Structure 1
Amino acid sequence: MRVSVAAALGASVAGVASAEEVSESDTPGAPSVRGDLKRFSTTAFGAEVTGPFVFDDGSLLYSLQHPEGGNPEPFGRAAVGYFSGFQFEFNGDNDDFPEVGVPDTEEKQRQVRSAAGDYEVLVQGKEPIQAGSERLGVPQTPNGTDLTEFEGTSGGYGNNPDCNQFVATDDEGTEGYLFTNWENYPGAISRVPLSRDEPGEWSADTDSEEAINVVNTEPFRDIGGTWVNCYGDLSPWGTMISAEENYSHPRVSYTYTVGDIVESGTGVGKIGGCQFWNRPNPSEIGNALGDYVDDGEIDEVFTIQGSWSQSGIEKLAYYLGAEPVDQTGDGNLATTPIADVYPNPYRYGYFVDIRDPAGDPPNPIKYWVMGRAAWEAPDIQGDRRTVYGCSDGDSKGIYKFVADEPIDEYDDTDDIAGTLFAPKITNDAANAAEAGERNSPAQTPLDVEWLPLGSATNGEVESWIAEYDDVTQADYLETHADTDWQTDPAAAVREADLEVIRNGNRNYITNEEIVEWAAQYEENGPAGVDEELRRVPFLETRAAAKEIGASIEFNKAEGVDSVDDSEPGDFVYFGISELNDALADDEGDVQLDRVDGGVVYRAELEPDYNVSTLEPVITGPDFTDSPEDADDALRNIDNVYTMRDGRVLCCEDGFGGPARSYPNDGLYVFQPNVRLDVSSVAVGQGDAVEAEVVARNVPEGIAGGEFTVSVADPDVVGITSASYPDSVGLSEPPTVTDDGATASFRFADVDDAMEPADTDFTLATVTLTGRGAGVTDIDTAGSLDDDDGEAVDVEARSGLAITGPANVGSGGDSPTDPDGDGYYEDVNGNGRVDYADVELLFDNLESDSVASNARAFDFNQNDRLDFDDVVSLYAEVN
C-alpha cells in the first residue's frame, strides 16, 4: 500500500485526539453495531461528509465540505453533488448497493468514491450568481460588498456547504429549489433551482434569477442575519429549516456553572466566550489573557470556551450596515470599537424557518422560543409540535421543545407557544463510576427525564431579545472601564477585559440574574419565577439548564433525525460524535468509558412523542484500536438522515483522527435489526384486551419464521386466545399453554405481504385477560429467515401488562384506564373521570386496595404513592 495522503502531508485536525493522548483501550463493544452498517461512499481528502438528502426517486446527494485544494478537479473545491446512476430502492435492505472499499491509494483518497453511481457536481462554492453580482455562499454588506473584502477570518466563505434540503414545487418531486447552508460566520443560505430530466439526471440552474443567497435580502437583515448555518431539516410543512450553530454562546466554560462564578467571586478559569461578544476584536481575548498573566493581573491562562468562533462578529456588523472601523491597532488591545450598528448576541443560535421558499425574496422566521444554542440540527416530529435539537461542542445539551398547538397552524408565528425542556440522565448505570465502576457506552442505555425550563410565546422571547439590540462595542468599554476609550483605547480595553473576567458582562443578562432565576425555579417551579426572569432559559439556555442540574454533558451532539411524519413507535436517532470529556469524566450524571469514535443512540417515540431512553446502536472505535478494527467502523458521526424505509445515513466528521489506515471521512448506511415488539396493555380484573405482535424494520425478502409471546406472571394476566391477521399467508394455528403463559406461532410469507413499504408488519394478536391486580412483563422471542434461507437478526422487545385493582372503598365497580396510559384515573369505575374520582382516591389513599396497587394510581409518576397523586388527578380533571 502506498503512503496515505494524511501521512504524506502530515494532516491533522485541531481538537481530534491522537492515540498518544487517549489512555483508554479495549472499551467493551467499541466498535460495534446493532444491525448492518455498510459504507456507501468515501469523500475527497480534507472534506467532511455533510448535508445528505434523498429525493423521492431515491437519488442521493451530499456536500463536499472544505476539501483540500490540492485534490484534482472537481474535488478541490467545495461543492454539492449527487450520485448519478443510483437510486435507493426503499426496501429496508442494504443489498440495494455494493460496498465501496477503503481508499488505499493517494488517487482514491483525493476523490469522492462510491461503488454505486458517480458523484456529479451540481453547484460549487463561490460560483457566480445573479449575473455575477454575487457568489454562491458569500454574504454581502447592504451595498453589495462581499464580506471576503474585509480583514479577519470567517470560516471560509463559500467553502463550507453543509445542510441540503430540496423543496419540491411540483407534485412529482422533479422540480424545486435546493437550499444549502454555508457554515461560516456570519452565515449564509443559498437557493438554487433544481430539476430532474426524463432519464433521471439532476441539474442546477445557477444562471436563473431565482438562484440567490437568501441571506443577502432585507427580510434576513431584518432578523439580524444568520450565524454559522450548520445542518437542518425539511419541515413537515415543506420548508427548509436551518440550524444556527452558535459556538459563541457559552456563558461558562465546559463543566462550570454560573453559580460557580458567583460563589467564587471571579470568572477566572470559568468564564465563557459569549461574555466578550461586544469586546472590540472579541476573538483576541484568549491572546490578551497571556498579557494579563504576565502583568500579574490574573494568575492563570485558561481556555475561554467559544471565544475562537467570535472572529467574524465585526463582519456580521458590516453585513448589518455598520461603518467599517480601524481594528488593526496595537496587539490585542488597541482597537477602535464599532459604535453605530452591532449585532445582538441573543439573535443568534436558533432554528431559522424559510416559510416562503419560492418567494421573491423568501420570508424567514426564527424560532426564538425553542432556545438558544450551538444548534447542529433540529428534528420536528409528526405531531408538528415536538422538536428535538442537539447542540454541538463540549459539555452541551440535547433539548426538547413542545408547542401547545401544531407549529404550522399558528396564523401569526409570534403566537407560537410552548415549553422548552433540558435533559436529566437518571439511571445509575450511566454514572457507575461513583461506585468504582465505569460502564461501556455500547452497553449502557441512557434514561432521560425532561426538565421544563420555561414556557413562552415566540413573540415574547423576541421582545426580550430586542431589549439588547442597541448594545455596541462602545458599551463594552463605557460600562466596564473608567478610562475614556477615545483618549486611551488600549487602557480602556484592558480595564474592561479584567472587569468582565472577574464580574461578568453587565451589558447583557447578568450572572446574578441567572442564579436568582435558578433559585426561584427550585423553590417555585418554572412557572413561579419573576416576570423579569422568565427570559433567562430562552436567552441563556445552556447556562440556565446547567444551573438547575440538567445533564449538559454531551460532547459534539451532531445529529438528530427520524422518519418524515414520524409516529409513536418510530425511532429518533441522536449522533454523539465523541463520547469523552464530560461524558467520561468523574463528575455529573454520565460517567462512562471513553470512546472517542462516538456513539449513535436511538430513542423510541412514545404515545405523546416523548423519548425516555437513549439506547446505543452504533459505537465507534477507540482511538487506540488498530486499523483492522477501525477501518470499517463508523467514526465521529456527524449528520444523520433517516430514510422512509427506516434505514439511516450516517455521515462522518473525523478527518485526520487516529485508528484508521486512511484519512477520509465516509457515508455509511445503517440497517437496523428486525424488532419483534408486543404492545403494552392495561386491563381490568376479569376483562379482556388485545395486544399486537409487530415486526418492525422489516426489509424486503422475509420468507417466514416462528415466534412466541409469554406472560411472566400468568396470575396477573393470562393469554386466552391468539390469532393471525389475514395478511399472513401460510400459518400453523397458534397454540396457547393451559396456564395461559405462552402462545406459539409459525408462519410463511407465501403471499409476499411484507412489501418494501411495510417496514412495520403485524404478525399476530393475543387476547389477554386480567386475573389479579399487578404488573407483569410480556416477552417475545423468535427467529426469521430471508428469501435465501439465511437467518435474520431479530431483537425482541418486551411489553408491559397492568391489571387494575379491585374496587376502591366499599362497593362500586373496579377502576378503569380510560385513555390506555396504564394509570387508572377512573377510580370509581363509572366510565368517566371527574371530581368524584379525586375524592375517592383521597379518602382511600392509605387503604389496602390502593396501597397494594400503587403503580395504577401513581399519577405524578414518581414511583411511589403520595398526596401529590391526588393533586395530579385533580389537575387532570380540571
Structure 2
Amino acid sequence: MGDILAADGTTLIKSSNDPDFNGVISDGGTGFYLYTNWEDRPGSMSRMNLSNLGAGETGYQNISLEGMLDFSSVDGTWVNCFGTVSPWGTPLTAEELYFDDTADWFDESYQYFSNPQSLAQYLGYPTDGSGAWPNPYKYGYIVEVGTSSTAADPALANVELNKLELQGRFSHENSVVMPDQKTVFLSDDGTGVVFFKFVADAAGDMSSGTLYAAKVTQTNGVSDPSEAAFAIEWIELAHGAEADIEAAIAEYDAGTLASPSYITDQQINDWAEAKLSQDLDGSGSVAADPFTDDRPAFLESRKAAVALGATGEFRKMEGVVINYGLADNWWNAGAADGDQAYMYMAMSSFDKTMADDEGDIQLDGTHGPCGVVYRMTLKENAGNVDVDTMVPAIVGGPYYSDRDVNECSVNNISNPDNLAVMDDGRLLIGEDTGNHENNVIWVYEDPAL
C-alpha cells in the first residue's frame, strides 16, 4: 500500500507516506471496498476489501489488500488529494495541480520542476527533458474511478478510469455531486483561486455540460470574517463535450522542453475578449477568438474564469461536502429535516488575497492563518440544485503570531481541511495544520441546525 509504480507496471518510483481521502463502496455483500488517495507526485489510489463484520467489537474478519490502481490508461494521475463518492457509487478523486502558470511546466528553473519530472519518469520519458515530455493538459482534473458496475468489481483490473475534463483544470481539492445528479460543486486549493460549478446536460452523465465560476459580493461594510457573507452570482464559462475537449488536449501532446506547447495568457485574453465583445487588455480593439472551441474554460479554468469576471481571490479552498442522505431527502422527498441540507466548505486560511484591500473579498485577516468554514444552504434553481450565499459557520483563531507553538488557539479550529457531514447534520472538521502542536478532528454542532 502506497507503492507507486511507473506506467510499465513494474518500476517502483516511490513508497508514498501521504494518504488523504478515503471512499467507501459497498461490495454488494457483507462488506465494502475502501479506496484511499495517495497525495503524491505522481499520485495513486489503493483499494482493499473489508467484509464479515464480527460480533461485538471484534471488527472485520476478512481484510484483503487488493493493491494500487493502475492509472496508466489515463497517463497517470497527480497529487490525489481529497474526494467524494458519487451518487451512483464511484469514487471521485481530485488532482491538486500546483501549476498556476502552465509555462512553468516546461521551465527547468521553476522551483517545482521536479514534479513534471516525476511524471516523465512515470511515463518512461527522459527526465532531463531531452525527449518527450508529459502533456500538462492531461493533469489537474477530477478522476472518476470505475463505473456504477465496476467500482465494486472484485477484479481490480476491471476498475475503469476517466478524467472529467469538463469540470475544469485547476488545483482540485474536492468535488461533490448534488442529489439532482447533474450539479457538481468544486473547490480550488491555492492562493487567489476560484469556486466552480458544473451542471451536466443529463443526470448521471458527466460527458457534456456547462462550467461556471462564482462572482461573489461581500456584505457591504463588513470585514469581520465571522459576520461577512458572500452573495454568489454564477458566471457561465462554457458548454462542452468531453470528446471535444479530449481532442483539444491531444493537440498539446508534442510539447517538449525545447518546444513547449500550451495555451498562452494572450490567447486566454483574446478568447475572453471575443466571448465578451470587450477590450480587456487595453489594446484598443477586441481580439478575434484564437480557437474554434472553448478550451481555455476547461484547460486554463482559473485564468479563464477571472478573465470573464469571476472572483479569483479565495485562499486555500479545501473540502466542499454535503450529507448526501439529508440532501437527497430534501431534494426528492421535501421532508421536514430538509433544512439540514447544507453544503460546507473549508478555507484553510483567509489571509493574503482574501484579506487585502483589493477586489471582491476584503476581510480582516488578523486571524486569517487559522482558517474558516463556510455554510451554504442548498436551493432549487431552474430544476437544478444551487447555492447563492456563502455564510461563515465557524472561524478559527485567535491567531498569536508571537508564539512558537499553537499559534492558533487550541480551543478552536486551525487550518480546516477535510470535512464530513454526519447523518444528524453535525460537521466533522479535520485539521491539516502547523499552527497546532497536534492536528485534531472536531465535531461542530452548527447552531443553524
Asked whether the two chains share a fold, i.e. TM above 0.5, the reply is: yes
- C-alpha distance 443-140 of structure 1, shift in aligned 2 (>3 A): same
> SS of 1:199's equivalent?
coil
Name the counterpart of 2:18: 160
Q: In 2, are the aligned partners of 1:169 and 1:176 still within 8 Å (CA)?
A: yes
CA distance in 2, matches of 1:469, 1:204: 48
Q: In 2, are the aligned partners of 1:193 and 1:204 still within 8 Å (CA)?
A: no
Q: CA deviation at 1:458?
A: 1.5
Q: In 2, are the aligned partners of 1:583 and 1:592 still within 8 Å (CA)?
A: yes
The correspondence for 2:310, drawn from 550, 563, 569, is 550
1:541 aligns with 2:301: yes
1:635 aligns with 2:414: yes
Q: CA deviation at 1:622?
A: 3.2
Q: CA deviation at 1:143?
A: 5.1
Query: Which amino acid in 2 is paired with 1:167?
Result: I
Name the counterpart of 1:198: 55
The correspondence for 1:422, drawn from 213, 235, 240, is 213
Query: Which amino acid in 1 is paired with 2:249?
Result: I
> SS of 2:174's equivalent?
strand
CA distance in 2, matches of 1:178, 1:467: 36
Q: CA deviation at 1:176?
A: 1.9
Q: In 2, are the aligned partners of 1:189 and 1:213 still within 8 Å (CA)?
A: yes
The correspondence for 1:613, drawn from 361, 374, 389, is 389
CA distance in 1, matches of 2:319, 2:393: 14
Q: TM-score, normalised by structure 2?
A: 0.87
Q: In 1, are the aligned partners of 2:373 and 2:395 still within 8 Å (CA)?
A: yes
Name the counterpart of 1:213: 68
CA distance in 2, matches of 1:577, 1:222: 33
The one-character-per-residue Cα deviations of 1:650-680 (angstroms, maximum 9, x if unpaired) are 011112x2xxxx600100011122x5xxxxx
Query: Which amino acid in 2 is paired with 1:670?
Result: Y
Name the counterpart of 1:245: 96
Name the larger-Rg structure: 1
The correspondence for 2:361, drawn from 590, 615, 619, is 590
CA distance in 1, matches of 2:369, 2:252: 39
CA distance in 2, matches of 1:420, 1:320: 30
Q: In 2, are the aligned partners of 1:596 and 1:622 still within 8 Å (CA)?
A: no
Name the counterpart of 1:466: 250
Q: In 2, are the aligned partners of 1:648 and 1:670 still within 8 Å (CA)?
A: yes
Name the counterpart of 2:445: 671
1:15-164 → structure 2 map (5 Å cutoff): 127=1, 136-142=2-8, 144-148=10-14, 157-164=15-22
1:353 aligns with 2:144: yes
CA distance in 2, matches of 1:204, 1:381: 34
Q: CA deviation at 1:542?
A: 0.6
Name the counterpart of 2:175: 378
Q: In 1, are the aligned partners of 2:42 and 2:77 still within 8 Å (CA)?
A: yes
Name the counterpart of 1:857: none
The one-character-per-residue Cα deviations of 1:726-761 (angstroms, maximum 9, x if unpaired) are xxxxxxxxxxxxxxxxxxxxxxxxxxxxxxxxxxxx
1:532 aligns with 2:292: yes
Q: CA deviation at 1:203?
A: 4.5
Query: Which amino acid in 1 is paired with 2:271?
Result: W
CA distance in 2, matches of 1:350, 1:514: 19
Q: In 1, are the aligned partners of 2:369 and 2:399 still within 8 Å (CA)?
A: yes
- C-alpha distance 610-278 of structure 1, shift in aligned 2 (>3 A): same
CA distance in 2, matches of 1:397, 1:512: 20
Structure 2 unmatched runs, 5+: 279-287, 332-338
- C-alpha distance 629-144 of structure 1, shift in aligned 2 (>3 A): closer
CA distance in 2, matches of 1:427, 1:181: 35
The correspondence for 2:73, drawn from 210, 214, 222, is 222
Q: In 2, are the aligned partners of 1:513 and 1:533 still within 8 Å (CA)?
A: no
The one-character-per-residue Cα deviations of 1:171-217 (angstroms, maximum 9, x if unpaired) are 5xx412110000001101111112232334445967x4x61210xx3
- C-alpha distance 457-622 of structure 1, shift in aligned 2 (>3 A): same
> SS of 1:616's equivalent?
strand
Name the counterpart of 1:742: none
- C-alpha distance 645-375 of structure 1, shift in aligned 2 (>3 A): same
CA distance in 2, matches of 1:592, 1:351: 30
Structure 1 unmatched runs, 5+: 1-126, 128-135, 149-156, 252-273, 287-307, 326-335, 433-437, 477-506, 676-696, 698-878
CA distance in 2, matches of 1:205, 1:380: 31
> SS of 2:122's equivalent?
helix
1:518 aligns with 2:301: no
CA distance in 2, matches of 1:318, 1:624: 43
Q: In 2, are the aligned partners of 1:137 and 1:190 still within 8 Å (CA)?
A: no
The correspondence for 2:426, drawn from 647, 654, 658, is 647
Q: CA deviation at 1:453?
A: 0.5
The one-character-per-residue Cα deviations of 1:560-596 (angstroms, maximum 9, x if unpaired) are 0001152455111010110111110011101010122
Name the counterpart of 1:623: 399
Name the counterpart of 2:229: 445
Which structure's residues are more often strand, by fraction? 2
Query: Which amino acid in 2 is paired with 1:521?
Result: K
CA distance in 1, matches of 2:82, 2:56: 30
The correspondence for 1:562, drawn from 313, 317, 322, is 322
Q: TM-score, normalised by structure 1?
A: 0.45
The correspondence for 1:575, drawn from 346, 354, 359, is 346
1:242-391 → structure 2 map (5 Å cutoff): 242-248=93-99, 250-251=100-101, 274-279=102-107, 282=108, 284-286=109-111, 308=112, 310-322=113-125, 324=126, 336-340=128-132, 342-355=133-146, 356-357=150-151, 358=153, 359-361=155-157, 362-391=159-188
Q: CA deviation at 1:623?
A: 1.6
> SS of 1:453's equivalent?
strand
Query: Which amino acid in 1 is paired with 2:301?
Result: T
Q: In 2, are the aligned partners of 1:572 and 1:605 still within 8 Å (CA)?
A: yes
CA distance in 2, matches of 1:596, 1:557: 13
Q: CA deviation at 1:644?
A: 1.9
- C-alpha distance 628-159 of structure 1, shift in aligned 2 (>3 A): closer
CA distance in 2, matches of 1:559, 1:242: 12
- C-alpha distance 599-143 of structure 1, shift in aligned 2 (>3 A): closer
The one-character-per-residue Cα deviations of 1:473-523 (angstroms, maximum 9, x if unpaired) are 2324xxxxxxxxxxxxxxxxxxxxxxxxxxxxxx21122211111111222
Name the counterpart of 1:394: 191
Q: Give the number of equivalent residue pairs.
A: 414
Name the counterpart of 2:84: 233
CA distance in 1, matches of 2:5, 2:20: 16
Name the counterpart of 1:270: none
Query: Which amino acid in 2 is paired with 1:349?
Result: G
Name the counterpart of 2:285: none
Q: CA deviation at 1:533?
A: 4.6
> SS of 2:392's equivalent?
strand
RMSD of aligned alpha carbons: 2.3
Query: Which amino acid in 1 is paired with 2:140?
Result: G
